[in-house]
Structure 1
Amino acid sequence: MDVRDQAVNALSQHRRAALLVCGAGVAALGLGLGYKYLRKPEKVVRVGVVSQLLIHPLKSGKAVPVAEAECGSRGLRSGHLEDRHWLVITEDGHMVTGRQEPRLVLVSLTCEDGQVCLNGPDMEELRFLFKQPDQLVIDCRVFGADIQGRDCGDEASRWLTRYLGAEKTFRLVHFETQMRPRKPADSEALFPQTEQVVYADVGPVMLLSESSVKDLSSRLDEDVTVERFRPNIIISGCDAFEEDSWDEIQIGSVRLQRVMSCGRCIFTTVDPKTGIISRKEPLETLKR
């Protein structure tokens, strides 16, 4: 099935979904792969099983595990939750991530009954309407590229500013369907000009195997979990770093093509359980 001809595709009952692969490429270093959609069908071979699906609605925020998701051209979606579709910004529109504010990884953004719910340690839950057409559309900057977002209101701004405890003011914006997305090709030439992302770093979907994380943990003083690397699709039943050689994959009826290995930065040194940044591991071990 050509997924480009489908608006969305379901990744359902993922705990029983087989991961199939066709073709093989040169192994690349790093944990996590960026994937784009695949056009032509080919013979496939089973190589693993999807064990988890994770959506990160808020860029740098806490992952939300889901039982099923729709796979669209801009990433995974489950109900109103779309991957990396909310963004914290400064007053002048520049993005704020866990690289600058590590405690963002402890902020949970979910949706319920037409409302967005914000939760964080030692903070009262904040709820506001998912649709706020009267709020301003703000011009934002994400990795030097222009992109818009609908402001989520003053209450959300005060909540984030109080939580992060900084002297500066933060605001929360939401990407809406009619807005113009970014093009990964503007920063990574491996992506075709037709590909689109919202607030994600580069690719719309990231895949990672449990065995790769387990292998890395065996070389560290303390174990790390898959959440530290912020993938969308987690695979079990394969060897460590085997995913680096998968050029094209199929999960159920969804077919994806590998574009590149995900480069790793200082964000991997933020502990997703504590929100503390070490600026050392596991990045130093990954460099070896």
Structure 2
Amino acid sequence: MAAPLLLSDLYIYPVKSLGGIRLTEATVEPRGLRHDRRWLIVDERNRFMTQRQTAAMAHLKVSPAYNGFLLSHQQRPELLPLYVPFTATPEKTLFVTIWDDMVFAWRAKPECDEWLSEALGQPAKLVYMSDMVRRDVEPEHNPEGQLVSFADGYPFLLIGQESLNELNTRLAEPVEMDRFRPNLVFSGGEAFAEDAWEYFSIGDLQFRAVRGCGRCVLTTINPHTAQKHPQGEPLRTLAAYRTEGSKVMFGQNVTGSGSGFLRVGDSLTPR
């Protein structure tokens, strides 16, 4: 008898393009898991910054703290960790650009901007997306009018553990799941089983797998050392057998249909 499909890991990424926090349970909200990618780092033109263009961001680490998180620099211990609350206040606002979207955001406290600018060696600001902001999922894949945070395009990213296990059989040096920055990880089933799903449930909550996730150079950066793989792994190996059109696919972009709670160990059922 096949092993049941179970939710095996939950992750949130409080700041877009920085590290994640592993959870045992999480609250599902209209634009994703609570506290996931609600903060964003922007440059002096108020345009979003990621590790794709700003490699120094790979040195910034995120760790949980009471009602928020700590940012630290793994190569500069003299730069004391910065506490950031999970939410901000609307004292100051500005418009920011993320991909093709322009939305208004709340400014963090000035000391956050100062810390980030020093850590990254260039002007940087930290901004927060409030519940009042409307940023829609890609229109052509969004008949339900789903919302998204500062994530690239979708509220959730789902990956099967067996998909990673299969990839690792092809790599000289295995990689961990955090290389791919999922929100939802499940155990059981066959490798890449998630590619064939559309609707599925986790516990009592309903989800829709909208389309595969095209991967970028970010996957070649070791999140623990901030070092880029000299041969471009695992993206190079994935490209050999997971290329669709011009994109290398790994994981599924997912939308939800309600609010509630997820817990590690919840059953997952494709519909």
Q: TM-score, normalised by structure 1?
A: 0.75
Per the alignment, in what secondary structure is the counterpart of residue 195 of structure 1? coil
Distance 1:48 1:119 in 2: 36
For 1:287, give the aligned amino acid: A
Q: Do 2:88 and 2:108's aligned partners in 1 also have CA atoms closer than 8 Å? A: yes
Pair 1:131–1:76, CA change in 2 (3 A): closer
* Kept in 2: contact 1:185–1:193 (CA 8 A): no
Q: Does 1:98 align with 2:51?
A: yes
Aligned partner of 2:8 in structure 1 is: 51
User: Residue 249 of structure 1: CA displacement?
Assistant: 1.2
Task: Give the gaps of 5 or more residues in structure 1.
Answer: 1-44
> How far is the alpha carbon of 1:114 from its aligned partner?
4.9
* Corresponding letter in the other structure for 1:177: D
Candidates 141, 160, 173, aligned match of 2:127: 173
State how far apart, in whole Å, the 1-side matches of 2:113 and 2:149 are: 21
What code does the residue aligned with 1:182 have? R
- What is the match of residue 110 of structure 2? 154
Give the match's secondary structure for 1:256: strand
1:140 Cα offset (Å): 0.4
Counterpart in the other structure of 2:190: 239
1:138 aligned partner: 94
1:177 match: secondary structure: coil
Report SS of the residue matched to 2:135: coil
Equivalent residue letter for 1:196: L
Q: 2-side partners of 1:131 and 1:83: how far apart?
A: 11
- Please state how far the C-alpha of 1:113 moved relative to its aligned partner: 4.5
Contact 2:108 2:127 in 1 (8 A): yes
Q: Deviations over 1:18-63 (max 9, x none)?
A: xxxxxxxxxxxxxxxxxxxxxxxxxxx9851111100111101111
Is contact 2:90–2:107 with CA below 8 Å preserved after alignment? Answer: no
Structure 2 SS opposite 1:285: helix
RMSD (Å), alpha carbons:
2.2
Q: Which residue of 2 aligns with 1:284?
A: 236
Aligned residues: 235
Task: Answer yes or no: is 1:127 the counterpart of 2:83.
Answer: yes
The Cα shift of 1:200 comes to: 0.5
Would you say the 8 A contact 1:102–1:277 is kept in 2?
no
Q: Structure 1 residue 112: deviation in Å?
A: 4.2
Q: Is the 8 A contact 1:102 1:276 kept in 2?
A: no
Query: For 2:86 and 2:233, how far apart are their aligned partners in 1?
Result: 37
- 1:29 — aligned with what? none
Q: CA deviation at 1:282?
A: 1.4
How far apart are the structure 1 equivalents of 2:196 and 2:4? 11
Alignment-mate amino acid for residue 183 of structure 1: D
CA deviations on 1:50-105 (whole Å, 9 max, x unpaired) are 1110011110111101110111220012xxxx111000000111000111223434
From the superposition, tell whether residues 83 and 132 of structure 1 become closer, same or farther in structure 2 (CA, over 3 Å).
Answer: closer
CA–CA separation in structure 2 for the residues paired with 1:198 and 1:131: 13
Give the fraction of aligned pairs with identical amino acids, expressed as a percent.
30
- Equivalent residues of 2:14, 2:37 under 8 A apart: yes
Q: What corresponds to 2:203 in structure 1?
A: 252
- Where does 1:1-288 land on structure 2 (aligned, <5 Å)? 47-77=4-34, 82-109=35-62, 112-114=65-67, 116-121=69-74, 122=77, 123-127=79-83, 133=89, 135-164=91-120, 166=121, 168-178=122-132, 180-186=133-139, 189-192=140-143, 194-278=145-229, 280-288=232-240
User: Normalised by the size of structure 2, how large is the TM-score?
Assistant: 0.79
Q: Is the 8 A contact 2:43 2:124 kept in 1?
A: yes
Equivalent-residue separation in structure 1 for 2:148 and 2:90 (angstroms)? 25
